[in-house]
Every structure is written in structure tokens, then in C-alpha cells.
Amino acid sequence: MNLSTAASFEAADSESTIEEQLNRLLTENGPALLRLASSYTNTSSDRDDLFQDIAIALWKGLPRFRGECSERTFLFRVAHNRAIDFLRRHRAPTSPIDAESPIRDARPNPETGLAQEQQGERLRRAIHRLPLPYRQVITLTLEEMSYSEIAAILGVTETNVGVRLNRARQLLRQLLEKSK
Amino acid sequence: MNLDAELELWREQWQASSEAPVLTDLRKRVARQSLYMRIVLIAEILVTLVIGGGTMLLAMRNPQPAMLILAAATWLFITAAWIFGLSNRKAAWSPAAATNSAFLDISIRRCRANLRSVTFGAILYAVEMTFCLSWIHHESGSLSSTLIGVIALVTLIFATVLIWYRRKKRFDLSYLLNVHRDLTAE
């Protein structure tokens, strides 16, 4: 076997390892990433596009990952960067908080068996209306990330995370109250 | 409500949506294309046997110059189609490795091969039709309006299918090149 053949086998092997890693990460965190993508987009097709962008960014980024942070932190950092980039490119509206326009639930009577699902939908709509910095912190908190992980993902201090989270919770509470 | 209980409730509601994402699966796309390529190959063999064999049989049973010319021209077209088909599909049968990059590369190669075959198909169709009409005119002395109508209809359908197929393949190619660009961009 000559050197170039050996090198190409090595490259293919390393590529396969990265793909296995990527597939595992996407299998383990796919639903969480999809929820994150949906908090940045208005339609399911935009959400799927953003998810695809995130998967490609991970594919590109994994070879450079040297374990400076946990895989999950790395994954969500890439996802957030991609989501911000997606917002820039698509100029997706970040619905400002408007006290006069409560979030209406388009579904019928909440006292039916679908109440739980409706509450989830109401929460997602309310989160979608939060200003971006608060939305980022609350979605990561709801994905069970610690302050330090959120700080590492967003590139802010842990104190800042705490402040943003408190404000996000207040606003979310108000929005959910109005939507009742 | 207790603050932690509130957060826990939101967390439950938020995570209740656990829809699994669907990635565009390059491997499935390549497997589907491979199956399609095999079907096309079988169809090409059948056309060769039926049309090439048929005209040859006719020429053997009735060895007039016109029939010999028809058989020779048919085999010329079939040979041209086979040479083009084989060279066009060369290196498009299987990916170089079982990796997403290799599957992406082969998908791009196949898309380009499909676009080349659209151009070749249009040229071959035009040449064949010209030959067939000339041959019929030479043999019967005229072209009936029914025949011209049928050929016009077939040509219209063929052109519509080719245009639709070309647009579809160009769209596919543009998507695949975007993915490729995203992957190779620094």
C-alpha cells in the first residue's frame, strides 16, 4: 500500500468516526435541537431548514472540537450561532412584547383532554414572543442546562444568565397570564 | 406557585414536544438513484434487444436496401446511445467511501450526468426523427397528416417531460452544491 492510499484510508476512517459521532449527537439531542430551532422560526419548513443548517455546521465543526467543553455545550453553542445567523439571513421577526396583544390560543376549549398539549403550545408561543436574549436563556434552561453551561454557550457571565433568566421568567409569566 | 415548581412545570410542557427531526438522508437518496439507474439499464437492454433485434430480423427476412439502411441506422443510434450512456454513468455507480461527503459527491455527479443525458436525449431524438421521417418519405413518397400529427404530439410530450426533468435536476443540483459549499466553506 503506498503512502497516498494509506492517507486516504486514514482520512476515510476519521470521517466515518466523525459521522458516527454526529449521528449519535443528533439521535440523542435531535428533539431538543428541533425545539430550539422552533423557538427561532415561525414555520415548520423554516424550522427544518434551520435544523439542517445546524446539522451541517456540526458536521463541519466536529473535527475541530477538542473537548474544551462538554459535547452538549458544544452542540448547543453551534446550534445557537447557526440560529442567530439564520435570523440575520431570514430577518425572521422577533415578536416584541405588546401588552395590548395577548397570545391567543387558536384551539378550542382548553378543558378538553387536549389541555396539556394546549398548555405546551401556549408556552411555546409565549417563548417565541420573548426578546432574543431572554428567549435564548429560557430555552436553554428548559433543556436542563446549568448557568455555567448557558454562560459558555452564549458567551456571557453566569451573573448575566441569572439576570436574564429572572427577567425572562417575569415576562413569560405575564404573557401566559394574558393568554388565559 | 413555588418558583422551582413553576420552572419544572414549564420544563415538562416544553419537553413534551419530542418530535424527532428528519434530516435529508443522502444515503437513501443515493440508494433510490442506484435502483433507478439499474431500472434504466434494464430498459436500455430491452430496447436494444426489441428494436435492434426487430429491425435486424426485418432486414434478414427482406434484404432490400431500404430495410438494410433502416437496420444499420437503428444500430448506429443504439450504439451511440450505449457509448454515451456508459461513459456518462462511468464513476456514478457507487460512492468512493461510505461517508456523507462521498454520498454528496456521487449525488452531484449523478445530477450532472442526468443533465448531460437530457441534452444528449434531445439531440438524439431530433436526429432519429429526421431520419425516420426521411426514410418514410423515401419509401412511401409522402407523409400523411395523421403521421405528422402523431409525431408532433409525441414530440410535444417528449419535450415537456425533458423540460420538467431538466428543471428538477437543476434544482436538485443547486441544492446539493449549496450543501457542498456550506461544507467546504471556511
- Chain B residues closer than 8 Å to A56 by CB: 179, 182-183
Please tell me the predicted confidence (pLDDT) of residue B150: 92
* Per-residue confidence (pLDDT) for residue A95, from 0 to 100: 47
pLDDT on residue B97 = 63
Residues of B in contact with A53 (CB under 8 A): 182
The span from the CA of A4 to the CA of A9, in Å, is 9
- CA distances to A60, B53, B94, B103 from A10, in Å: 18, 50, 20, 18
Inform me whether the C-beta atom of residue A90 falls under 8 Å from chain B C-beta atoms: no
Separation of alpha carbons B73 and B174, rounded Å: 38
CB contact under 8 A, B13 and A119: yes
Interface of B with A (CB under 8 A): 3, 6-7, 10-11, 13-24, 97-101, 179, 182-183
Give the C-alpha separation, B30 to B109, whole Å. Answer: 11
Give the per-residue pLDDT at A63.
Answer: 82
User: A-B interface: how many C-beta pairs under 8 angstroms?
Assistant: 75
Encode pLDDT of A102-144 as tens digits: 444 444 454 554 666 677 888 888 998 899 899 999 999 999 8
* CB neighbour list of residue A2: distance below 8 Å, 6 or more residues apart: none
The pTM assigned to this predicted structure is 0.54
Spatial distance between the Cα atoms of A115 and A138, rounded to a whole number of angstroms: 23
Q: What is the pLDDT of residue A60?
A: 78
**A175 CA to chain B: closest CA distance, Å?**
13
Q: What is the pLDDT of residue B18?
A: 66
Check A35 against B14: CB less than 8 A apart. yes
Asked if residue B169 lies in contact with residue B110, where contact means CB atoms within 8 angstroms, the answer is no
Partner B contacted by A63 (CB < 8 A): no
Q: B80 pLDDT exceeds 60?
A: yes
CA atoms within 13 A on the CB side of A93: 6
Residues of A in contact with B25 (CB under 8 A): none
Look at residue A101 and tell me whether its pLDDT is greater than 70.
Answer: no
| Closest by Cα among A49, A47, A89 to B175 | A49
Alpha helices in B53-99 (DSSP H): 53-61, 65-89
Q: Judged by CB atoms within 8 Å, which residues 106-135 of A form the interface with B? A: 116-117, 119-120, 123-124, 127
B interface test, pick of A15, A39, A122 with most B CB neighbours within 10 Å: A15
Residue of B nearest to A168 (CA): B7
Average pLDDT value over all residues in chain B? 85
In a mutational test of the B interface, the residue from A46, A142, A147 whose CB has the highest number of chain B CBs within 10 Å is: A142
